[in-house]
């Protein structure tokens, strides 16, 4: 027969295991804090119990007349840590007239690579903003960088996005912690949103729908999750309807600035567009034509045959390889190879499926074309000088200090 302490140990391990998967930290008293230090869960009957944010807030404001929540463990009362309570959302639909029912509960999000940003992305953001209908709307650019499919580093990418899409400057979020769609959903849940809309292209709707719904109630808890299509896109079409980041990278690889310019909005002038073109080219490591990577690596949508040949011959995406889904940002180990898809497992043991055209070999801490990660480019340091030289194509810097100082005998 198991002792009381054995049962207690097993209970703790079950709650701790789930908390570890969600990146929660113990407060030492049976409670759990998220990455922002907010109190979000307790250990109840050996399991992880998430705090009802609205109920916790009303108890905090209601004084002593409120009845305690039934079955609340004595060792982990949210009221004991008021500083860790989730702060109320700032989004309001109606601030005049005193109608509390007007407080919004829904967040609309867009998660994407935007590498580089295009006029097609501008259409996506406008569509998503309309679907938000006045509720909160946030845009999360992915954080991955590599020289073939994600040439721009996150900071540079966000900077250009805000220039290209000024109407959405305040909606674009530059958060290094938002690496995948799961990170976005968990953060939205922690912020107290009850419903969430995820706006994606029609070709990615089923993938996001399956993934977001599958882990609702486990990684996060929403009353309603809607994955909404922003409309179909025809890769063969001209203009905005057929524009994509793949076409933009293809134009750079072929040194076709005119084609690249057609993919940028009018809000970006010719000078800034040329600077963006040069930045993408530099980040892709393109100096001479012979150095250009194969098309299936840069824009696989335009070279299905090349991609397929590499896959069938098992030159890429082998069992055990670590890959990243380019749409969702999820990173996992390949456990099964299909005819044209992969089944992968994250380090937290969450499973996801990806088409081979939508993945890349995972890159951990890619330093960028300068050889220096973005968080190490401090102005005035050698690292920043090296970064600037690489991004501008400068091979050497001539020192003019004291050049004209009069020599003394």
Q: Where are the domains of the chain?
A: 4-84, 89-93+102-299
pLDDT of residue 135: 93
Backbone angles phi, psi at 129, to 5 degrees: -65, -40
**Is residue 109 within 8 Å of 182, Cβ to Cβ?**
no
Q: What 3-state DSSP class applies to 380?
A: coil
Long-range Cβ pairs for the range 270-274 (8 Å, 24+): 272/160, 272/163
Tell me the CATH number of domain 89-93+102-299, given options 2.70.170.10, 3.10.180.10, 1.10.1060.10, 3.40.50.620.
3.40.50.620
Q: How far apart are CA 94 and CA 81, in angstroms?
A: 31
Q: How far apart are CA 284 and CA 84, in angstroms?
A: 44
Q: How far apart are CA 315 and CA 149, in angstroms?
A: 18
pLDDT of residue 101: 43
Per-residue pLDDT of the chain in tens (409 residues, 90 and over written 9): 545 445 445 444 677 777 776 667 788 777 878 766 777 778 887 777 776 544 444 444 444 443 343 343 333 334 443 333 333 344 444 344 433 344 469 999 999 999 999 999 999 999 999 999 989 999 999 999 998 889 999 999 999 999 999 999 999 999 999 999 999 999 999 999 999 999 998 889 999 999 999 999 999 999 999 999 988 776 666 777 788 899 999 999 999 999 999 999 999 999 999 999 999 999 988 875 545 567 666 667 667 788 888 898 888 899 999 999 988 889 999 999 999 999 999 988 889 999 998 888 887 554 444 455 555 556 667 766 766 665 555 666 665 555 454 555 4
Q: What is the DSSP secondary-structure string of 119-183?
A: HHHHHHHHHHHHHHTTSEEEEEE----BTTTB-S-HHHHHHHHHHH-GGGTTTB---TT--SHHH
**Is residue 39 within 8 Å of 51, Cβ to Cβ?**
yes
Q: In 3-state terms, the chain is what percent helix, strand and coil (to 5)?
A: 40, 15, 45
pLDDT of residue 215: 94
Neighbour-count burial of 320, counting CB atoms closer than 10 A to its CB (0-12 exposed, 13-18 middle, 19+ buried): exposed
pLDDT of residue 4: 45
Closest CA to 151 of 331, 321, 376, 366: 366
């Amino acid at each position: 027969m198991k002792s009381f302490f054995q049962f207690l140990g097993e209970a703790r391990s079950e709650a701790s295991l789930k908390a570890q998967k969600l990146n929660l930290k113990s407060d030492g008293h049976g409670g759990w804090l998220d990455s922002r230090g907010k109190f979000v869960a307790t250990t109840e009957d050996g399991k992880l119990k998430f705090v009802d944010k609205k109920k916790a807030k009303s108890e905090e404001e209601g004084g002593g007349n409120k009845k305690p929540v039934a079955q609340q463990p004595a060792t982990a009362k949210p009221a004991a840590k008021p500083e860790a309570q989730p702060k109320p959302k700032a989004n309001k639909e109606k601030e005049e007239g005193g109608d509390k029912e007007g407080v919004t509960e829904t967040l609309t999000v867009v998660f994407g690579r935007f590498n580089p940003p295009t006029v097609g992305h501008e259409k996506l953001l406008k569509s998503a903003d309309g679907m938000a209908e006045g509720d909160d709307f946030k845009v999360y650019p992915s954080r991955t960088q590599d020289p073939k499919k994600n040439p721009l580093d996150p900071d540079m990418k966000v900077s250009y996005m805000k220039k290209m899409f000024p109407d959405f400057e305040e909606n674009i979020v530059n958060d290094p912690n938002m690496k995948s769609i799961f990170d976005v959903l968990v953060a939205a849940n922690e912020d107290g949103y009850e419903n969430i809309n995820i706006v994606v292209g029609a070709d990615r709707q089923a993938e996001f729908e399956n993934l977001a719904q599958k882990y609702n109630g486990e990684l996060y808890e929403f009353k309603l999750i809607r994955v909404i299509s922003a409309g179909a896109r025809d890769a063969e079409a001209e203009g905005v309807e057929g524009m994509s980041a793949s076409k933009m990278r293809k134009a750079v690889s072929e040194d076709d600035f005119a084609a690249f310019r057609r993919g940028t909005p009018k809000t970006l002038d010719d000078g800034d567009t040329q600077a963006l073109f040069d930045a993408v080219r530099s980040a892709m490591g393109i100096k001479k034509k012979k150095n250009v990577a194969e098309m299936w690596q840069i824009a696989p949508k335009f070279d299905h045959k090349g991609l397929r040949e590499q896959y069938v011959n098992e030159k890429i995406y082998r069992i055990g390889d670590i890959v990243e889904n380019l749409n969702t940002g999820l990173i996992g180990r390949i456990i099964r190879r299909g005819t044209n898809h992969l089944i992968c497992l994250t380090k937290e043991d969450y499973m996801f499926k990806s088409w081979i055209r939508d993945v890349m070999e995972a890159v951990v801490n890619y330093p960028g074309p300068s050889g220096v990660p973005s968080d190490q480019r401090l102005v005035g340091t050698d690292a920043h000088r090296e970064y600037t030289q690489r991004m501008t194509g400068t091979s050497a810097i001539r020192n003019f200090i004291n050049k004209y100082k009069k020599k003394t005998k």
